Structure formats: C-alpha cells, structure tokens
Structure 1
Amino acid sequence: MTAAPDPAAPGRISLGVHGARGLLAFGVLVYHVVNSGLPSWGLPPLVEEGLRSLKYGVEIFFAISGYVMARSMQRARSPGRFLLNRATRIFPVLWTAVLVVVLLSLISQSRAPAALDPASLVLLTLANLMALPGVFDLPLFLPPAWTLSFEFAFYLLCFAYLALRQRWPGIGWALPLVVVGAVFALHHPRALFFMCGLLVGSGRLPGGPVTAALSRAPGLMLLVFLGVWQAAALPAAPFFEPVWSWSEPRLFVLAALAFAAATLSLNGIAAGQGWFAARFLQSRAMIWLGTISYSLYLWHPVVLAIVKAAMREAGLPAMLGDWSQLVFFGIAAPISLLLGHLSQVWLERRLTERLRRGMTAPPRVPPYARETVVK
C-alpha cells in the first residue's frame, strides 16, 4: 500500500479513491482483530467469511496504486524525481516501524528478530528496511510490509518506462514493460491488480453500456470482488502461488471475475458514481481515514500485538470470555488510529518534506566563492 497524497492538491486523485484507502485500511485492521485468536461470539458462517475476506482489500490497494501511478507518470518532472517522490513517501514510516519492531523484539527476547544471530539480524534488518521481503523469500519483520515489496517492484517498472521514454522517445516502451509486469504477476498473482488501476488511470478501460452500468455500483462491485476472491481462496490460498501451479480450472474463472469486479469498482469510485463513492467515501471521516491510511496500515499490527500481549498478561481473556475480541478492538482501534494520525503528520508529511527539500535544494555557495565569481 502506498502513502496517501493530499487529496485537495491540484491534479491529485479523486476524493472517492482517497476515501477508499481509508475504508480498506480499516478493513484490514478489522480482519486482524477477527483473526486474533481471542475468544468471541460465534458468528454466522457467511458473516465470518465476509470478515475474513477483508484481508483481500490489499488487492484493491494495489489497484489504487496502479491508478495513482498512471496519473503520476503523466505529470512526473523526471524519472529520478518520480522515484524520489515514491521513496521519500514510503521509507520514513517503513524504516521507523521496522526499527521499532526490532527494538521491541530485542527488549522482549520473545521471538525473531531477537532470535537471530547478530550478523543475520543486521542483514535481515537492512533487507526489511529496503522492503525486500515479499518479492524475495526473506523473513518479514513487519507483517503488512510485504505489500511494499510489490509496490516497489511496480515503481521500478514505472521508473524504467519513464527513463526509457525520455532516452529513446520514438520507441513504444509500454508494451514490453507491460509484458515484464505480466510475467511478474503470473508468478505473484495478487500483483495482477496493479493492472486494474493502470486501465482506469490511463483511460484505457474499454467502454460500453455494460461497463458504464456496472461502474455505477462500485460498492456492489467491491463486495462481488471480495466474495469471489474469498470463494476462490477456499479452502487453500492459491493466490500466493504462481499461476502455472493452479490445478483447478475454476480458479482461472474466479480470478477473471475478481479482476473485472475490482476494475469496475475502482472505475466507479474514481468517477464518483453512486452513493457509496460520491457520499460515503467522500465523507469527512473517510477522507481522514484515507489521509492516515498508509500509517494506519503499517502501525496497527504493532499496536494489536502489544495490546493482545498486555491483555493476556493481565488475564483478561479468561475474565472477559466471549467479550475478549470486542474489548480488544475497543482498546486497539483508537490507539491505532491515533498512532496512524501522529505518524502521518510527523513522518509522512513533515519528515518527507524535509527530506525532499534536502535532496532537491540547490547547493550553497560559500561567501568566498561568491566573491571569487564576482571578481
């Protein structure tokens, strides 16, 4: 998942897409609460599967990233500037969160990374700081950060396209790079959803009355995507495996339906179609959640782990029984939202601004050098 730009800035993404980030990030938090292992009331199977499907909001994050990058590349000042903007937006929060996880592990001495030998700890910490686990089979210190590995692979393809187009403008570089991206997606099927966003963001989504009609119900299309993708994943999770390893024909059909539903949902959200996109996702609460979505997404597992450990240490699950999960949510969600807000203000916004100023400011000329030039 990418950090959210200011939705009010000129040329930025639509408010509906911005609000969708917030809804999806909060949905991932709910998913982790539901799967916390704490006692809870028995839920109807359909409701339980619906809540479990919230983890696939990550695919819509990828779609939104594709949409944003399609628009960002159109206004990028240069390939280097494009990559710099992405790096300075992503790394401050990632680095801080990874180092906090390493520090907490070393203090508690409960599990990895504290269990690693010093050399492995240093090397794997650097790998996690560079968002390598995910694309590469390496230990992951911060669970949700695997998505950033996919994000950076996508950014590098976008950077390559901009750089090659700038160097050799007469050659159509889009097709070969799309082929490279498609091969990557076949190996990592969840990355396929970047293509949804590229189709919508570049205006290449085929039109027609069916596309227009289904795009007018983006909320329904989002539910269809979650339902179909969850149904395809039962009882296993094939979407973490290469496409050529899929053994059931139904997976290809369901994957195609899920891709279509995700694309139509994003198309309707971006255009502000219907109450869901025009009113709900653009409400003040959703816009705020969208603004803190990246920080919320990365920090909430840390908060959940600390709160759950504290509850177990205090013996609360035994005392609360089936209320444990609800109390867990009631404690952890506000803390996660507050930490997400603080991280967005101090790391995403203020630190990012300082990094960009420091990297792009013209070099200072010492007084004696100015005098020499004048003479």
Structure 2
Amino acid sequence: MSTTRSELLHPQAGREVARLGWLDALRGIAAVAVAIHHSTFVYTPQARAAVIGWFNPGVWGVMVFFLVSGYIIPASLERHGSVRRFWVSRLFRIYPLWIVAAVALLLLAVVGVSQVRGELYRFDPVTAVLAHVTMMQDLLAVPNAVNVLWTLSYEMAFYLVVVGLFAVRWHGRSVSLVAVFTVGGVVLGGLGPALLLSGSAGAPVAVAVTTLVMVAAIGSACVSRPALRRAGMLAGGGLALVLVVLNGRLSPWFGLSILAVMFSGTVLHRAENGTVRWRTAVLACAGVLAVTVAQGWWHPEEVEGGPVSWTVSLVLAAVTFGAGMGLRHRRVPGWLAGLGMMSFSVYLLHPLLLKVSDATVGRWRDYDNPAPLVVFLAILLMVCWATYRFVERPMQRRGRELARRMS
C-alpha cells in the first residue's frame, strides 16, 4: 500500500514518470475503493449487505495494491542495485505517516473518541508496540491497532523476501517463485491459522526474536563485509517466509496466495521489459488467479462475502491491472495521478476518520444515507492532501537525498 513511482525513477526521467502514471491511477482508485468499503459499514449498511455477496471492493482494492507493489518493488531494488538505498527509501516512505497515524490513534483514545482495540489488552504494552513498530503484527498474531494495518505486514514480508532473493541472485526467478507460492498454498490449504510460534503466551518471545532479526536484516545493508550483509538479508527473508507459513492471523494458503499475487506483478514487469516471454507471464498469472479463486471456494469461511464475491473481486482486480497495463502509454489525468500519490494517506487514515465520525455523527443502522458518505470522502481527501503535502512528500524527498548520499 506504500509504493511510489518516484522511487523507481531517476529524477530526470520525465518520460518514465509519464509512462508510470497508470500505476498512480490504480493506487488512487484502489485506496478510495477500500475507504468506501469500510465506510459502508457506517453510512450505507443495507446497500453493503446487498452488494458484498457479489463484489467486495475491499478485496478488489487490496489485490490491486499487491499487484502494484509486486510490479514496482523488485524493479526499484534492481534498478538501484543497492539494498541500503532500498531500505532507506522504504523506511522514509512508510514510517513518517505511520507515526502520524499512531499518534492520532493514541490522541483519539486519550480524549475518549475511540478506544484502542480490546484484543490488544491481552498483550503487554512492549510486545504490542514492538509488533506494530516492525509492522509484522499480523504475522505475529498480535491484533492490529487499526484494521487496515494487516496488509502492511504482508508488504513488509514481501520486502524481506525480495531482499533475501537479491542476496543470492534469485530475484530474477519470478515465474518459479509464483509457482512455488501457488503450489505451497495448495499443499498447506488444509491448515488453518497455525500460530505455532506465538499466540498470547508465546508472543513476547516471537516479537522479540522478530525485532532482532529485522534489525539485523535491515541493518546489514550498512555492513561492509559481503558475507555478513548476505547473512542478514537471508535471515530477513527466511523470517518472513516462516511467519507467513507457521504463524499469523490468516491461514497459510491465504498468506502464500498474497505472495503469489505480488510476484505475479513482478512477472508482468519482467515481461514488459523482455526478460520473460509474454506467453509465459500470462500463463503464470492465469494459474495464480485460477488457484487463488479455487482456494476461496475450498475455504469459503475465510473469505469475506463468500466464494462468489471472492471470485468476482479477484477477477476484476486482474482485469483492472491488465487494463492499466494496456493503457500504460496514455497520459493519466493530473487529478487521478495526484490521487494516487496520496493513496497511502487515504488507505491508512480513513479508519481513524471513521472513528471520529462514529463518535460525532453516529451510524445509520435502519436506513441508507449516501450523503454523509460523500461528505466523509470529501473531508478524507482534504485531510490526506494535507498529510501528503506536509508529511509524506517532504519525508520522501529527505529519504531520497539520504539514499543518494549513502550510495
């Protein structure tokens, strides 16, 4: 949910900026779709109940996000060839707004507008905070302080896996990786959420080990000795895979399917650049889509809205991304590209604004009223423009400057 086209490009590459505007458009539309999905709980519950069995805009938006991340992230690392620069850009991209959201959530709790999610009280404060600071809380079975944070756990896991693959020069084997994760999801499909490493009792140890490994994995980018740097990168990738398979809130098939979807985006990027045949890329992505759809029918209790909604949402996500690629040479309207640039703010902050709405406006339980939803979206976009303008963009600029000095 947190990629940006500027990190993929050299500052002077104006043609590339225009060419990748379609990714901004997809991210912007996907972020608004997720915000609308959650807003319908509050403002139009009856309309939501009528639609959710056929189409889930939240699933659609999240899967589009994952495809975009898969398309951009490995390319960003490979373009610069520097793990150190990669991590600096990632940390400056994600954490500034994450900190703003965390502070806002605490302030809402202090003034009594909203309480921190009750499930978190089963964990000691240090464990809960560290799990969220690493952004791996959903893979450590620690409840998310804000519901949308679960996707950041899989984003971070993807980063760690990509860096680990880069360490052993396996990052180009995207088609094989798609096959491994897809087949792995089928093999482990009979397992529910494993929780083999944590749960409430083992969480402090699991969180502490995860924190140490992640510090070593990211910090190893600054180590001069190649062997130690490679060991840290591999440790981070191994940690991510272990947590996806053996731990977390979601079943292994779901987590591995997410990784398969993300690497599908990578496969399409390689096809566009001529390192993978288009026929191979299309077959690989079609296989991921078919198997992931089938998983929803195999595990209907684990997909919101049921298997029909799961199927329609996944197919439309694939069609949307494909349409975006097909129109990639067309110029994207400025307002749509701008929406994409602040999509991370839209995604991360809309649940907090909904908490404020709950405490002030209340919920429409007996009838649907779309007018407050429209007002909510308008206010959300104004808030997100401000956070992008004064938080995200300045910190991204500083991150790029620091990364250039460190290269």
Q: Tell me the TM-score normalized by structure 1.
A: 0.70
Which structure has the larger Rg over C-alpha atoms?
1
Q: How many residue pairs were aligned?
A: 321
Distance 1:42 1:126 in 2: 39
Contact 2:108 2:114 (8 Å CA) reproduced = no
Q: 2:77 matched to 1:73?
A: yes
Counterpart position of 1:371: none
Pairing 1:148-167 to 2, within 5 Å after superposition: 148-165=152-169
Counterpart position of 2:344: 294
Q: Which runs of 5+ in 1 are unaligned?
A: 166-170, 216-220, 241-247, 363-375
Q: 2:322 matched to 1:322?
A: no
Distance 1:3 1:296 in 2: 13
Change (3 A) 1:355 1:235: closer
The share of aligned pairs that are identical, in percent, is: 20
Counterpart position of 2:205: none
Counterpart position of 1:94: 98
Distance 2:139 2:353 in 1: 25
Q: Which runs of 5+ in 2 are unaligned?
A: 185-243, 245-251
Residue 266 of structure 1, aligned match among 312, 316, 321 = 321
Counterpart position of 1:133: 137
Distance 2:298 2:110 in 1: 37
Residue 207 of structure 1, aligned match among 255, 275, 278 = 278
Task: Kindly state the Cα deviation for residue 126 of structure 1 after the two structures are TM-superposed.
Answer: 2.8
Change (3 A) 1:120 1:109: farther
Pairing 1:1-375 to 2, within 5 Å after superposition: 1-6=1-6, 10=13, 11-12=16-17, 14-36=20-42, 38=43, 45=50, 47=51, 49=53, 52-108=56-112, 111-112=115-116, 120-165=124-169, 174=173, 183=184, 184=244, 186=253, 188=255, 189-203=257-271, 206-207=277-278, 232=296, 236-238=300-302, 262-263=317-318, 265-272=320-327, 278=330, 282-312=332-362, 317=364, 322-324=367-369, 326-357=370-401, 361=405
Change (3 A) 1:55 1:34: farther
Distance 1:33 1:109 in 2: 17
Contact 1:157 1:177 (8 Å CA) reproduced = no
Distance 1:287 1:269 in 2: 13
Task: Kindly state the Cα deviation for residue 161 of structure 1 after the two structures are TM-superposed.
Answer: 2.2
The one-letter amino acid of 1:238's match is E
For structure 1, which segment, 90-99 or 5-14, has the greater mean C-alpha deviation from structure 2 after superposition? 5-14
For 1:194-247, what per-residue CA distance to the aligned partner results, in whole angstroms no more than 9, with x for missing partners?
022011111166535x969xx9xxxxx9xxx8xx9699479944359xxxxxxx
Distance 1:261 1:336 in 2: 26
The one-letter amino acid of 1:292's match is M
Task: Kindly state the Cα deviation for residue 192 of structure 1 after the two structures are TM-superposed.
Answer: 2.6
Contact 2:5 2:20 (8 Å CA) reproduced = no
Contact 2:114 2:356 (8 Å CA) reproduced = no
